[in-house]
Amino acid sequence: MNKDIPVISLQRLPVYLNYLKGLPEQEKFVSSKSIADALDMGEVLVRKDLAFTSAVGKPRVGYVTRELIEALEDYLCCNGKRCAVLVGVGALGRAVLSYGGFANYGIEIEGAFDSDPAKAGVEVAGRKICGMQDMADEIKRLGAELAIICVPASRAQEVADALCDCGIKAVLNFAPVLIKVKNGVVVRHIDVAANLAVLSSMI
């Protein structure tokens, strides 16, 4: 995979993919202009982003819709299988475990951990919750590379440290706090309240 894509472009690829998958079947061709118009973006930007994939557009015709979808799915490893684990099975953790959308991107959450002994062994959306003491072994056994942190802010850094020690390479952090990770580990942060605050400041 071309790792030189800027993150800002990379994070637009799922947006294109979602849009294209929502098009009616009869739309065999799609132009960068029509994508740009639909998504309220610049056409040059769309073309540049899509150039990171293997899709090749033709002048006056555009892309073959199916080929462009496949190229994006390829780029985003949607047809691979990557294992993720989740830490912190509170209300949010439960919601994330119950969410089926990860499979579209070839990702499966196969392990769930919580520090509350009362939750150990309980099943949520088909996965048995394990205690924190089993995390290292389970992550190794599963070969998990992705982790989702759903613990409270006060616990997020220690959980991130433990995940890094277990060899996790990428962390999606829902705790409303910045976490530090080892060099070579990538992090994305979803702060739900901050997103709403940004919206609130825009109106």
DSSP lists the bridge partners of residue 129 as 112
Amino acid letter, residue 113 = F
# of chain residues touching its own copies (CB under 8 A) = 60
Site for its own copies in 136-155 (CB under 8 A): 145-146, 148
**37's tokens:** 């118009």
The whole-angstrom separation of Cα 99 and Cα 1 is 27
CB under 8 A: which stretch of 58-66, 111-119, 128-136, 195-203 binds its own copies?
A: 195-203
The whole-angstrom separation of Cα 9 and Cα 3 is 12
Does residue 95 belong to the site contacting its own copies (CB under 8 A)?
yes
CB nearer its own copies, residue 57 or residue 88: 88
Among 28, 33, 44, 98, which residue interacts with its own copies (rule: CB under 8 A)?
98
Which secondary structure element, helix H or strand E, spans residue 127, and what is its range? strand 127-131
Q: Which residue, 202, 203, 151, is CA-closest to 179?
A: 151
CB under 8 A: which stretch of 14-22, 42-50, 61-69, 111-119 binds its own copies?
A: 14-22
Residue given tokens 């947006």 in the structure block: 15
Which secondary structure element, helix H or strand E, spans residue 72, and what is its range? helix 65-75
Smallest separation (angstroms) from its own copies to the CB of 40 = 9
**Which residues of this protein are in contact with its own copies, per CB under 8 A?**
1, 3, 7, 10-11, 13-15, 18-19, 22, 38-39, 75-78, 82, 84, 90-92, 94-96, 98-99, 101-102, 104-107, 145-146, 148, 169-172, 176-178, 186-188, 190-203
